[in-house]
Amino acid sequence: MSGAEFGKLALTLAILLASAHALGYLAERLRQPRLVGEILAGVLLGPFVLKLMLPDAFALLFQFSPKAETALGMIYQLGLILLMFCSGTAARRLLAKENQRQTFTLIGVADVMNFTLVLSLGFAGLLPLAELTGTANQEISTLLVLAIAVAVTSIPVISRIFWDLRIMHTRFVSLILGSAVLEDVALWTVLAVATAIAKSATLANQHVVGTVTEHVAATFAFVLFALILLPRLLKRLSAARWNLLYSASPVGYVVIVLLASCGAAALFDINLQFAALLSGYALVGGISGSERERFAAPLDAVAKVSFGIFIPIYFALIGYRLVFGHEFSFPILIGFFVGSTILSLITSGLAARLAGFRKLDIINISLTTNARGGPGIVLASVAYDAGIINGGFFTALVLTAVLTSQMAGSWLRFVLNRGWPLLASNPDDKPLPPEPEAAPAPTGTTVKLPV
């Protein structure tokens, strides 16, 4: 990449970052999730707003060489894995014994009901699959993506909301993220099947069946390794006297663990956001969280850089990719948003009640699990790139993710402001206090620099 190409990329990133922070700050002032403003920044800078109003400015910012496009894609992926890594380090008691019964009840009731009902409606011909299908022309794949989008809770988006509300340490969050982790195993398994069907006319092809089987086995093996063995391994490595990496730079060591985990996951075709979440969780000691205090300072440094730079750019680029041209369909958006939300709230509420929750707990769980940023953002982009869904359905999925996340974030903020518990069984789970702002330097003070 030449100096001129890098300079253009740097200018684009500066404008994306400034816009994301400015609109994210305004969204917070309006008591909305910060990510709503960050995604809106990408929409305003995208081809359906800036390109139409100021085509020369759009060309200056977003017409890149292949090398610059690759660099921008790397920054996008880096923002995603840093968000998931920070969420993993902050989450506590993930899949702990106190949550296991409730977690499996939520998944076994809500997800199975959602998935089964959508598939039944699709096979009965009651869903407009032809209007949602992309260039691959495989309606079965489209139906599977639609079922996933209704059933699965977002990890990236809901993690960002939890982080902004400073409740990552609560049992409520560990319950939601615990079920979301298991849901993601199912998500990427079914998505592998849908992608395989899109590339092949039938599952009778033994190569396709073998590929899907290998993917499922690798994903489950990675989950077991990350939850059981990896925390112990990292704990020993971190405490070893010969560990020069930790001694030289604790921050560097933390980032090395993240990058190595993602690299290992990529070798086995395991989703990187999933690997990043579990690597962060394993680094702090897994269920026990015994290493959390040791890594408090380096993780705080990583989080400040991540949420200050890479994560806002990630959400802004999501907004940039939205499609609002002739492919956009308002009826599809409204139909999917309303129908999927009603179905999710009913099944999640029923599952929460069967899990032993009551009253406000059920509302909190139902509205939070309805935040489907994962299927709407990550799943949608994968399915769109594979030709499974068209641009109109892609945009409907992402906008539904934003709207349902806005609903969940606004409701949780309302509950916390009223002083109500997120879970009645854990009334002492309160948000962490806000970080103190840096005190301004006294006027007239002279700072001496070392010579």
Residues carrying CATH 1.20.1530.20, the chain: 77-417
Cα distances from 212 to residues 190, 216, 293, 387, in angstroms, run 9, 6, 40, 18
Nearest to 92 by CA among 408, 432, 435: 432
| pLDDT by 10s per residue, the chain, length 451 | 788 889 999 999 999 999 999 999 998 888 777 888 998 999 999 888 998 898 888 888 888 888 888 899 899 989 988 988 887 786 665 566 667 778 788 877 888 888 889 999 999 988 989 889 888 888 888 898 888 888 776 666 677 788 788 887 788 887 887 777 677 666 666 776 777 677 664 444 545 556 666 766 777 788 788 878 999 999 999 888 888 998 899 999 999 999 999 999 888 877 787 788 889 888 988 767 788 888 989 999 999 999 999 999 998 998 888 777 667 788 888 999 999 899 989 998 998 899 888 888 999 989 988 887 654 566 777 788 778 888 888 888 888 887 888 888 889 889 988 888 888 877 766 776 766 555 554 544 443 433 3
Cβ atoms of residues 328 and 392 within 8 Å = yes
For residue 256, give every residue at least 6 positions away whose Cβ sits within 8 Å of its Cβ, in sequence order, or none.
245
Name the residue with tokens 């806002």. Answer: 312
Rounded CA-CA distance 388/327 in Å is 15
CATH 1.20.1530.20 is held by the domain 77-417? yes
